Amino acid sequence: MNIVINALTCHATQRPNAVAVSNNHITIHYADLLTYIHQVAEKLRCSDIKALGVYMDNGPAWAIIDLAAQLAGVTLVPLPAFFSDHQLIHTIEDSGIEQVYTDQPDRITSLPVRKSLVKSVSRSLAGTIYYEIHIPHPRRFRNLMGIAKITYTSGTTGTPKGVCLSQEVQEKVTLSLYTALDVQAADHHLAVLPLATLLENIGGIYLPILAGACSYLLPMSDVGLRGMTSFDAKCMLDHIQTHRISSIVLTPQLLYALTKTIVDGASVPGDLRIIAVGGAPVSRSLLTQAQQLGLPVYEGYGLSECGSVVAVNTPEHHRPGSVGKPLPHIELSFAEDGEILVKGNLFKGYLHEHSALLPGELWPTGDIGFLDEDGYLHITGRKKNIFITSYGRNVAPEWVESELTLQPAIMQAVVFGENRPWNAAVIVPGIINGKTASTTEIDQTISAINHSLPDYAQIRAWIPASSAFTVLNDQLTGTGRPRRNEIWHHYHTRIDDLYKQRDNSRAFQ
């Protein structure tokens, strides 16, 4: 049983003229959405493919193809636009997809994949022109039984890995969020993140349909997101006001841009009741500032391996500083070192790896945290990122970085200090009054932040980055986490020089 398709069928019967999805240019009602999905599902059945890749901008067509693949029993492989060419090539070849549906055929056909890309057939779907690109494979993977989606997580190091998800795992998350967030048929959701991101995939398609609500699936540039490094929060706010949006999902950097826009004079949308933020650690100061401005911000935590959301704050149960209470479909426990272990709603394993998870098995998340006395989950750091100074103190760099990047003088920061007496940072300057922050302004910012940090976590010296950390230069993941190994590899000589220069002019004593 597919609960999302069943809910859609019910809405199409009982409320056929209710708006299901819209992108400003086309509005699709529930009855029409169901018709579209059945048409595409039939075409997929006739094509006799096992795995379908989707490389498309946000829009109703994305949602239709996603749901049609479920109905047809075809494994869906989202291809994120923020992936590099190397990552896309790996994903296409690793997954064994036989077709790609795309509204940007030039990007796909230009990839030097080992299998030749053959005929590109153009079609129209819900106001979108897309292309079917066929990819012949020397062999077809037959081990996709029970796998509804393979979501590739770029991670902080290495090549993307294919996380194999069943429909049941995704549905459990959807059902739990539906109850926890009290989603109503009158709600309007605006997809700000790419639908190729699992969190937005569930929150922007499945959750609104389950509730019979409306989802605005606009092109990324229309909501202000241009690539993964440029965001126009005023543009997003305009759409929130126009469409009376009640829910959005943001990364910490997008939340920062939103709060800055409101501080600069924009008004808080009156209909907005949930801003879910996650994907990377969120500064406590940023959350406090957003809440003081009247923004309904609720931090959450999740992993692709758990079908996305594991815990989330809600209007009913909210504790700032935590990532909320665990959703009811999962169980948490903790290893001796504090690593969070999850049981109850896990993926089917990584593609091509033989160690499939057993029922009841615990999944080590790699994150360190604890549950407080009231059952709220707190994340204190990433296990593999925690470093130990030469004085034996453990430092979770994400905590320090989140405090630094809250300030306008610092756009991005990555902290290092393994086996060193003090910590250093690589910093991408921010913008102040339309100008790049000066060395003096960054020095003053770091000095002020240091006063709020214990001595072992303070920044004693820094170097300016040669360029921003981005997905394109492999120094940032698609969800906004720094690729520390790549950044270290690029800057380690300059960082080492900092420690050699005892009287460095940028050392804070």
pLDDT of the residue at 456? 83
Q: Is the pLDDT of residue 277 over 60?
A: yes
Same domain, 406 and 371: no
pLDDT of the residue at 376? 97
pLDDT of the residue at 429? 93
Q: Which of 226-230, 416-420, 439-443, 455-459 has the highest mean pLDDT?
A: 439-443
- At position 132, the amino acid (one-letter code) is E
Residue 186 lies in a domain: yes
- pLDDT tens across 82-100, in order? 787 888 898 998 998 999 9
Kindly report the backbone phi and psi dihedral angles of residue 408, in degrees, each rounded to the nearest multiple of 5, phi listed first.
-65, -25
Q: Which of 37-51, 132-146, 364-378 has the lowest mean pLDDT?
A: 132-146
Last residue of some domain: 327, 359, 377? 377
- As a whole-number percent, the residues of the chain with pLDDT over 90 amount to 62
Residue 79 lies in a domain: yes
pTM score over 0.85: no
Kindly report the backbone phi and psi dihedral angles of residue 96, in degrees, each rounded to the nearest multiple of 5, phi listed first.
70, 25
- pLDDT tens across 301-332, in order? 999 999 999 999 999 999 988 999 999 999 99
pLDDT of the residue at 505? 42
- At position 178, the amino acid (one-letter code) is Y
Residue 451 lies in a domain: yes
In the block, residue with structure tokens 């003053």: 444
Last residue of some domain: 377, 403, 422? 377
pLDDT of the residue at 380? 83
Same domain, 165 and 31: yes
Domain count, the chain: 2
Same domain, 235 and 350: yes
Residue pair 185/243 in contact by the 8 Å Cβ criterion: no
Same domain, 393 and 372: no
- As a whole-number percent, the residues of the chain with pLDDT over 70 amount to 92
pLDDT: is 129 or 399 the higher one? 129
Cα distance between residue 116 and residue 263, in whole Å: 52
Nearest to 378 by CA among 440, 415, 432, 324: 324
Residue 507 lies in a domain: no
- Specify whether the backbone of 29 is left (phi greater than 0), alpha (psi in -120 to 50) or beta: beta
CA dihedral (69, 143, 97, 164) positive or negative:
positive
Same domain, 358 and 494: no
In the block, residue with structure tokens 């699936």: 217
- pLDDT tens across 115-143, in order? 666 667 888 999 899 999 988 765 555 56
Q: Is the pLDDT of residue 392 over 80?
A: no
pLDDT band for position 355 (cuts 50, 70, 90): low
Residue 506 lies in a domain: no
DSSP class of residue 221 equals G
Contact partners, residue 39, CB within 8 Å, separation at least 6: 68
Last residue of some domain: 377, 411, 430? 377
pLDDT of the residue at 504? 46
pLDDT of the residue at 381? 80
Tokens in use for 155? Answer: 């991670």
Q: Which of 99-113, 201-215, 220-234 has the lowest mean pLDDT?
A: 220-234
Same domain, 367 and 396: no
Element (H, E) at 307: none
Q: Is the pLDDT of residue 508 over 90?
A: no
Q: How many CA atoms lie within 13 A of 376 on its CB side?
A: 18
pLDDT of the residue at 37? 98
Q: Is the pLDDT of residue 226 over 50?
A: yes
Same domain, 426 and 283: no
Same domain, 340 and 479: no
pLDDT of the residue at 252? 82
Q: What is the DSSP string of 348-384?
A: --BTT-S-PPPTT--EEEEEEEEE-TTS-EEEEEETT
Q: By residue range, what is the domain housing residue 392?
A: 387-500
Helix/strand/coil (H, E, C) string of 103-130? Answer: CCHHHHHCCCCCCCCEEEEEEEECCEEE
In the block, residue with structure tokens 């993926």: 347
pLDDT band for position 158 (cuts 50, 70, 90): low
The CATH number of whichever domain residue 74 belongs to comes to 3.40.50.12780
Angle between helices 3-14 and 60-72 (to 10 degrees): 120
Same domain, 394 and 343: no
- pLDDT tens across 166-179, in order? 999 999 999 999 99
DSSP class of residue 385 equals T
Cα 85 to chain centroid, rounded: 19
Task: Enumerate long-range contacts of 474-480, CB under 8 Å, 24 or more apart.
Answer: 474/84, 476/228, 477/154, 477/155, 477/156, 478/80, 478/82, 478/83, 478/154, 478/194, 478/197, 478/228, 479/154, 479/197, 479/251, 479/279, 479/280, 480/228, 480/251, 480/252, 480/253, 480/279, 480/280
Q: What is the DSSP string of 402-426?
A: HHHTTSTTEEEEEEE-TTSSSEEEE
Contact partners, residue 479, CB within 8 Å, separation at least 6: 154, 197, 251, 279, 280
Cα 477 to chain centroid, rounded: 9
Tokens in use for 173? Answer: 């998350």
Same domain, 284 and 414: no
Same domain, 452 and 373: no
Enumerate the β-bridge partners of residue 368: 339, 381
Residue 509 lies in a domain: no
Same domain, 299 and 162: yes
Tokens in use for 338? Answer: 């504090």
Cα 53 to chain centroid, rounded: 19
Residue pair 317/338 in contact by the 8 Å Cβ criterion: no
Residue 300 lies in a domain: yes
DSSP-based three-state secondary structure for 291:
helix
Cα distance between residue 481 and residue 309, in whole Å: 17
pLDDT: is 118 or 256 the higher one? 256
Q: What is the mean pLDDT of the chain?
A: 89
Residue 356 lies in a domain: yes
pLDDT: is 440 or 137 the higher one? 440
The CATH number of whichever domain residue 492 belongs to comes to 3.30.300.30
DSSP-based three-state secondary structure for 61:
helix
